[in-house]
Chain A
Amino acid sequence: DQQVKQNSPSLSVQEGRISILNCDYTNSMFDYFLWYKKYPAEGPTFLISISSIKDKNEDGRFTVFLNKSAKHLSLHIVPSQPGDSAVYFCAAATGSSNTGKLIFGQGTTLQVKP
């Protein structure tokens, strides 16, 4: 039972263009969503998050959009840079949880070509 799904295993974009990474979830109790970026041999690093009371959150080149009715979120990276090449994971949590455990998707490998 995959509660968080990233259906695209990989994505390739040209430097300077927009990268759009998608994520779907099934559990309507999720009310907090995060994106993590992972380089090989390193742990995931936090990128950006959004609460379910918002539909957009922006931080520099990174913007996360949340569509609660569709149970869908996306991460936009504009402009994409070669250093953005990594595996991106979306994660979800129940904000009222007393543990804060994260449920991760399978990841999308982004390649930004110079």
Chain B
Amino acid sequence: GAGVSQSPRYKVAKRGQDVALRCDPISGHVSLFWYQQALGQGPEFLTYFQNEAQLDKSGLPSDRFFAERPEGSVSTLKIQRTQQEDSAVYLCASSLEVGGAYEQYFGPGTRLTVT
């Protein structure tokens, strides 16, 4: 598979639990993005990595959200003490280019449901 993959595809968490969502970008893609998509809405930017450096985390809704990409490839989005309002689809995207506004390739997303 040459595309962006995400796991798990579905995650149900009880309120207060911690979750970790994984993203495998396209090999060689320098840029990696996380977006959050609530039901009936468009994706909203969470954070951006250029290789292993997190250059923009302005979209993270609270300090319960943490993302990392330690070796510049796979990325993990961690949500601590999940709340019901965290229920959404979390999308990962990668891009070959650095910055700019180049085409981003999206994974299928992880649907998180917090009960």
Residues of A within 8 A of B (CB): 4, 6, 31-32, 34, 36, 41-46, 49, 89, 91, 93-107
Contact = CB atoms under 8 A, between A and B. Distances in A.
B100 A97 contact: yes
9 contacts: A46-B103, A46-B105, A49-B103, A89-B43, A93-B101, A100-B100, A101-B48, A103-B45, A104-B35
A36 B103 CA distance: 10
A96 B98 CA distance: 11
Given A43-B4, A98-B55, A105 B101 contact: no
Given A99-B48, A104-B43, 15 more contacts: A6-B42, A32-B100, A34-B103, A43-B108, A44-B91, A45-B106, A46-B103, A97-B99, A98-B55, A99-B55, A100-B104, A101-B33, A101-B45, A102-B35, A102-B104
B95 A100 contact: yes
Contacts of A97: 99-101
Given A97-B99, A98-B55, A100-B99, A43 B106 contact: yes
A43 B99 contact: no
A68 to B, nearest CB: 16
Contacts of B100: 32, 95-97, 100
B108 A41 contact: yes
A94 to B, nearest CB: 7
A100 B105 CA distance: 13
B101 A104 contact: no
A96 B79 CA distance: 31
A105 B40 CA distance: 11
B105 to A, nearest CB: 7
